[in-house]
Amino acid sequence: MFNRIFSLLKLIFTGILLIAVLSGCSVQHQLLNRVGDLLSAETSSTDDDLELLMHASAYQLKLSESLLQEIPDHIKLAEAVTRGYTQYAFVFLMDEADRIESESIQKASVLRARAAKMMMRAKTVGMKSLAHHYPDLKDHLQGKGVKQAIKLKKQDAGLVYWSMTAWAGAISLSKDSPDVVADLPEVLRLAELAWQAHPQFDQGSLASMMGTLELSKPGGKPEVAEKYFNLAIEWRGNQVAPLISKAENWAVATQNKEAFKDLLQKAIELGQAQNDISNTVMRRRAQWLLDSIENLF
């Protein structure tokens, strides 16, 4: 345990010193990239203290974003920053807003406004990095003609996924802002590119998002969305999130109350055997959804 703490402290202070004193030359750039590699490595925490994790993740996010300004071509660091802001918005802001809305609509609105702002921040970071590596991407997403078809690299699917997830999240929280909502076709095009590059990304996370986007678009078909959600569940590994996503999106949209209950109860049961923070958070959401069933059906 102490070795892990020492390594983390060494990483943090190394990152701060490098950002402060290093500039341009190739050796210095390599060192910065090495710190970027360390900061962008995704880990799964078994700590169930969400408040502690909230503060820790906020600190790492600010450090990572500062470093990214020095090495803007580091696509994995850009992915980590985009992912970090998106997850922070979902776990610590949007979920909390849902929980307290019955007690205070005003507080819930403040949290959602902050979440929307953070989602846009994540989207901006992600799309800026993608533009650096795919100069014609913006024109493609806007439906303009490009000289050559855009084909994303499989290893870049993570940055694309988190960018489009943040973008879609910002849209869902900005229904009173027509300019933001009007971006939905661009998100859908970006999602299709991600699907072509790596359909099984992150154990079904992308498939689950494809199902959610199918339900959100004009003329979206529930039966098509269900196929995506079923693939997500098939590919989910030990994660319960796809079960919950199908419940609160497809089951609610089709008003299938029995499927809603079955999916959430299964998620809670399976999640109890897993100790990572993702399953802990999602299991908590599953229980809240079950407790709110009369408001959804």
For residue 3, tell me if it sits in a domain.
no
* Same domain, yes or no: 62 and 114: yes
Which of these three, 189, 222, 257, is where a domain ends?
189
Residue 117 lies in a domain: yes
Q: Does residue 224 sit in the same domain as residue 152?
A: no
pLDDT digits 0-9 by tens, 106-120? 999 999 999 999 999
Q: Give yes or no: residues 56 and 106 share one domain.
A: yes
Question: Same domain for 172 and 67?
Answer: yes
Q: Which domain range does residue 215 map to?
A: 199-292
Work out how many domains the chain is built from and give that number.
2
**Measured distance CA(139)–CA(19) in Å, rounded:** 33
pLDDT tens, the chain, 297 aa long: 334 444 444 444 445 444 554 444 565 666 666 666 666 676 555 555 666 667 667 777 888 888 888 888 899 999 999 999 999 999 899 999 999 999 999 999 999 999 999 999 999 999 999 999 999 999 999 988 777 889 999 999 999 999 999 999 999 998 888 888 899 999 999 999 999 999 999 999 999 999 999 999 999 999 999 999 999 999 998 899 999 999 999 999 999 999 999 999 999 999 888 777 788 889 999 999 999 999 999
* Statement to judge: residues 70 and 181 lie in one domain: yes
In a domain, 80, yes or no: yes
Angle value at C-alpha 26, between 20 and 27, nearest 5 degrees:
70
Structure confidence at residue 141 (pLDDT):
95
Q: The CATH number of the domain where 71 resides is what?
A: 1.25.40.920
Residues 134 and 233: their CA atoms lie apart, in Å, by: 31
Residue 123 lies in a domain: yes
- Residue given tokens 């994303």 in the structure block: 152
- Examine the domain organization and report whether 104 and 183 are in the same domain: yes
Query: Is residue 234, in this structure, part of any structural domain at all?
Result: yes
**CB atoms < 10 A from the CB of 23, how many?**
8
Q: Are residues 180 and 230 in the same domain?
A: no
Looking at the fold, whether 152 and 233 belong to one and the same domain comes out as no
Asked if the structure places residue 214 within a domain, the reply is yes
Inside any domain, residue 6: no
Residue 46: predicted pLDDT: 52
Closest to 75 (Cα-Cα) out of 44, 36, 29: 36
The model's pTM:
0.84
Whether 168 and 243 share a structural domain: no
Q: Is 92 a domain residue? A: yes
Give the model confidence (pLDDT) of 124-139 as tens digits.
999 999 999 999 999 9
Q: Are residues 72 and 177 in the same domain?
A: yes
